[in-house]
Amino acid sequence: MRLATIRTEDGTRAVRLDGDHYVGLDAADVGELLLRPGWREAAAAADGPVRRADGLTFAPVVPRPGKIVCVGLNYRTHIKEMGRDLPQYPTLFAKFAEALVGADDDIELPPESAALDWEAELAVVIGRPVRRATAAQAATAIAGFSVLNDVTARDWQFRTREWLQGKTFEDTTPFGPVLVTPDELPGGVAPALAITCLVDGAVTQQADTSDLVFSPVELISYVSSILTLRPGDVIATGTPGGVGHARTPARYLTEGAHLVTEIAGIGRLSNRVRTP
């Protein structure tokens, strides 16, 4: 099943996408839908009205997650290019909902930063509350997967040893366009999917989500040891090699740059970088 939050004249609406058609659901967005017991069955059973999916405008698939937990250094290729050893534990930091934009929205180029970088990521969306989850509980807590680009102000990120300030500038993080349930993906809750990032048409990142050091199930188990994960919460699982900061010379996003982030079987983000 493929779920999305679309923008309409009357506000946002959660929908189920069926090929080139969609069915509206009884929720303002996917986050609201996930809070309801039996959301999966209700979304699957919705039968109309059916409309063509031409020209849809996507909001962030979960517009206001209660938590966005991000994972650093979780692809073997990226860890190597950054000159680090494989971690014993996941490196965690947070992002806030104000950072999120839709699949085709502009990314804001902060005037405070001269080093805006790309980070293509697989995002996990939580579908039921979990605390101190076993592997089996963590697996059943996954509502689905989406695409996210953890666009990062590197000059702010490395001002201190803590990364938060570089990771959550407003209107910088595209997220969507859809949530895809695990049953539709090869590998299920451990999806093996091609992930690609392009900047102005040139491939900058290309990997497979099977290269993750810590799997989605392991991340849910680990994070839920710290705090309760609730429906609509998001875990951004980390980025593969190819970020601009690791290049010689370093390369960053500039005014008008076109950033495309795609995960096979899930979807595509296409965003322009604009000065506010």
User: For 149-197, how does the pLDDT look when each residue is reduced to its tens digit (9 = 90+)?
Assistant: 999 999 999 999 999 999 999 999 999 999 999 999 999 999 999 999 9
- Model confidence at 86, pLDDT cuts 50, 70, 90, reads confident
**Taking 80 as the threshold, does the pLDDT of residue 19 lie above it?**
yes
Start-end of CATH 3.90.850.10 domains in the chain: 68-274
pLDDT confidence band for 48 (50 / 70 / 90): confident
Q: Residues 68-274: name the CATH superfamily.
A: Fumarylacetoacetase-like, C-terminal domain (3.90.850.10)
pLDDT of residue 50: 95
Mean pLDDT, rounded, of the chain: 96
Q: What is the pTM of this model?
A: 0.96
pLDDT the model gives residue 83: 78
Residue listed under structure tokens 């076109």: 258
pLDDT(85) > 90: no
Q: What is the mean pLDDT of residues 60-71?
A: 98
Residues 6+ apart with CB under 8 A from 272: 106, 107, 256, 257, 258, 259
